[in-house]
């Protein structure tokens, strides 16, 4: 049986749908069913259900808000990961921890390998890196899966924001000097379900294939959606945010190749499929 945390979130919801498609036995939880920031809550839930595998999608992901709420961010992303890892070790379960490109500082333009040096720039990035270390230190059988620029049908994301803004604006300023890979949660969910059952433990990087800037991504969203809204590329300095973002979020997929996992489709193919699915403008 597979336990999925953060099951109501953007990624977790699609992981649950993929498990259903595969007819896998699972238990899906969110904060109301199991509070990952409470050790007793985690221990009792895992002891009761005794999952063989845990897919840990729950996280504090409000990157800018984390700069002013570090304590809450750390409780969820660090303590939660530690409690889950220790509980998994106690019941002999495997754990897949979803991490982020924000564990890197974004220097240069070469794709980061899974063993590249980490140096996060933000509270969020530091918390996710500490969560990785908590998993690695407390659980023998684990997977660390770093991804980037997530979007899906559940919750808010960049794609929905762009489409919503395009309804009321003729022009949108979008940063053009941060590069990475948009990742469609449906595609990532398929890979996650492949990895969790593989026993090929380690650190992986996964995102849709190809790289682009946020402005390039926005232009493709407008083109495919038929919008006449113009995307105006700007520098990061012209759009200051509370948290510093890495300018290079390119992730190498050699870790997937070396373990025999298929890479995800291109980011252009993914956004096309996302827009074709229905009404992604609605923000839940």
Cα(124)–Cα(103) distance, integer angstroms: 9
Residue 122, CA atoms < 13 Å, CB-side half-sphere: 27
For residue 266, the Cα-to-chain-centroid distance in whole angstroms is 17
Whole-number Cα distances in Å, 224 to 72, 74, 212, 221: 38, 38, 16, 5
Radius of gyration over alpha carbons of the chain, in Å?
18
Residue 124 designated active-site? yes
Question: Quick check: helix, strand or coil at residue 134?
Answer: helix
Cα(171)–Cα(26) distance, integer angstroms: 45
Q: Where are the alpha helices (DSSP H) in the chain?
A: 10-21, 39-49, 70-74, 80-91, 123-138, 158-166, 185-196, 214-225, 254-259, 267-276
For residue 49, the Cα-to-chain-centroid distance in whole angstroms is 26
**Residue 270 · residue 217 · CB < 8 Å:** no
Nearest to 212 by CA among 174, 167, 163, 244: 174
Give the active site residue among 26, 124, 143, 184.
Answer: 124
Whole-number Cα distances in Å, 85 to 1, 101, 130, 187: 17, 21, 13, 26
| Catalytic (active-site) positions | 124
């Amino acid at each position: 049986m597979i336990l999925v945390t953060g099951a109501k979130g953007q990624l977790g919801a699609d992981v649950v749908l993929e498990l259903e498609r595969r007819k896998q036995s699972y238990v899906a939880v969110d904060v109301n069913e199991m509070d990952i920031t409470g050790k007793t809550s985690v221990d009792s839930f895992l002891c009761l259900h005794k999952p063989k595998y845990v897919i840990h999608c729950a996280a504090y992901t409000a990157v800018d808000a984390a700069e002013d709420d570090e304590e809450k961010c750390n409780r969820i992303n660090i303590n939660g990961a530690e409690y889950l890892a220790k509980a998994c070790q106690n019941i002999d379960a495997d754990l897949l921890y979803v991490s982020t490109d924000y564990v890197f500082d974004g220097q240069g333009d070469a794709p980061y390998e899974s063993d590249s040096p980490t140096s996060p720039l933000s509270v969020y990035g530091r918390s996710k890196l500490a969560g990785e270390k908590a998993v690695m230190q407390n659980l023998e059988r684990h997977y660390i899966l770093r991804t980037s620029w997530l979007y899906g049908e559940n919750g808010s994301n960049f794609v929905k924001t762009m489409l919503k803004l395009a309804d009321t604006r003729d022009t949108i300023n979008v940063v053009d000097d941060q590069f990475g890979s948009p990742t469609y949660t449906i595609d990532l969910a398929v890979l996650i379900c492949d990895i969790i059952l593989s026993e090929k433990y380690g650190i992986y990087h996964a995102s849709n294939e190809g790289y682009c800037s946020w402005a390039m991504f926005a232009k493709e969203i407008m083109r495919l959606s038929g919008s006449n809204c113009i995307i105006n590329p700007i520098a990061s300095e012209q759009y200051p945010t509370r948290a510093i973002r890495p300018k290079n979020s390119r992730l190498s997929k050699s870790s997937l190749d070396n373990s025999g996992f298929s890479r995800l489709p291109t980011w252009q193919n993914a956004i096309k499929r996302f827009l074709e699915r229905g009404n992604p403008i609605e923000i839940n």
